[in-house]
Every structure is written in C-alpha cells, then in structure tokens.
Chains A and B, each alone.
Chain A
Amino acid sequence: QLQLQESGPGLVKPSETLSLTCSVSGASISSTTYYWGWIRQPPGKGLEWIGSFSHSGTTYYSPSLKSRVTISVDTSKNQFSLKLSSVTAADTAVYFCAKTVAGLYFDYWGQGTPVTVSS
C-alpha cells in the first residue's frame, strides 16, 4: 500500500524559509516509472503545482515559484523535501506531496500539512 506523509513546521515567519519533507512507503522514489512532486492549496482556494522531480533527480519547477523553490531527494530514506524561501502570507497553504505516473497525473497524495506564514 503506497503512502505519502508530509511533515514539517506548521508556522513560518515572513521572509524565512519553509521546509517540508515527504516520507514515502510502499514504493521507491528511485523508480523509473514515477515522478514525485509538491502541490499547495491556499485556504479556500484551488490547487497550485509547485514542482516535481524524476527518478534521475532532475527537478522541474513552476515558473511562478522557480526563483524561490528547491526540491531535494534522499533516496536512502525514501524521502524528498521542499524548501520555499522568502515566504510571505501568500504562501500560507496546505502543502501536499504526491506521486505521478510517468510525470503525468497525480495518482497518490499525502494527507497534506497546513503551513501558516505569520510573525
């Protein structure tokens, strides 16, 4: 049974860096079939793709967030992480990690973790 679980601080101060980790069980993030990524959802709003990576470790970022986003991978722990720098209140959202099939659609999602940006 494939499962994804997000973890990280629920409160981040403005101008600081948001850091989250996604722990994966039931599948290897090194699999050549899958891509993995991050999506966020501000309160009461829709879904926004943040970025993804492939089995080779190549990363792909949303053009609107590219200057502030870094996704890194720890294959030994079967985890991947998100860092979003210089956060503002507009980055307050529920952050989801998810798996895609061949980099297409998201078929498995974590439960999501809420992050609030506030002093």
Chain B
Amino acid sequence: ETVMTQSPATLSVSPGERATLSCRASQSVSSNLAWYQQKPGQAPRLLIYGASTRATGIPARFSGSGSGTEFTLTISSLQSEDFAIYYCQQYDYWPPRYTFGQGTKLEIK
C-alpha cells in the first residue's frame, strides 16, 4: 500500500504571501495525484488532479507540480478564504484504491 506523507503539518503564512505544501509518496504514483481543500464542517473540495490540472472553477493562484514520489501545491498569493486544511491523495488505477495524506493545516500568520 502506498503511504502519502505531507509536510509540514502546520504552515503559518501571511495573507498575500506564497504558500508551498509538500506531499511525498512511499512509491511512485506517476501523476496520479490530487489535492483537496477542506474547511471546518465542510466536505473536501477538489483543487488539482493529475498532479497539475486545476479542477473546474479553481482560481489560477492554485498550482500543482511534481510526479513520481514528490509533489507540491503552491498558492501564489494567499487570500483569507485559503486558510484551511489541504490533503493530497493518490489513486491506483487497478484495482481502484485511494490513499490520502494526513493533511497540512494552513493558518494565518
């Protein structure tokens, strides 16, 4: 089973600054990687899939990069509504299996 490890656990950043979140896979997942944003009391929202493709309606300040075992989510200029918990998730094509990272909490500095 592929283990996903996110770092840091908590990231403190000021509004307007750039945030960089990392996700590492215990084995190669190619580009089968998604990122989600979750706010308190809400369901996760898909941000990025295929490691770098923004989902419908996601602002351009969100970008994803990486392949294999190392992935990055970058938020170029933090807005107040971006402070949340972010999860990465890998997906296996066959059989379908999904593993989430433990999350990174992005908080206001």
Contacts and interface: CB of A to CB of B under 8 A. Distances in A.
Interface of A: 35, 37, 39, 46-49, 52, 54, 60, 62-63, 96, 98, 100-101, 103-107, 109-112
A39 to B, nearest CB: 8
B46 A49 contact: no
Interface of B: 1, 32, 34, 36, 42-46, 49, 55, 87, 89, 91, 93, 95-103
Nearest to B103: A46
A49 B97 contact: yes
Residue among B36, B98, B99 having the largest count of chain A Cβ atoms under 10 Å:
B98
Contacts of B44: 47, 96, 106, 109
A111 B42 CA distance: 6
5 shortest A-B CB distances, which residue pairs?
A109-B43, A105-B34, A49-B98, A47-B100, A105-B49
Contacts of B103: 46-47
B95 A105 contact: no
A109 B69 CA distance: 27
B91 A96 contact: no
Nearest to B91: A104
Contact of A110 (B43, B96, B98): B43
A100 B97 CA distance: 12
Contacts of A101: 49
13 contacts: A46-B103, A47-B44, A47-B89, A49-B100, A52-B96, A52-B98, A54-B96, A104-B32, A105-B91, A106-B44, A106-B89, A110-B43, A112-B43
Contact of A47 (B46, B87, B96): B87
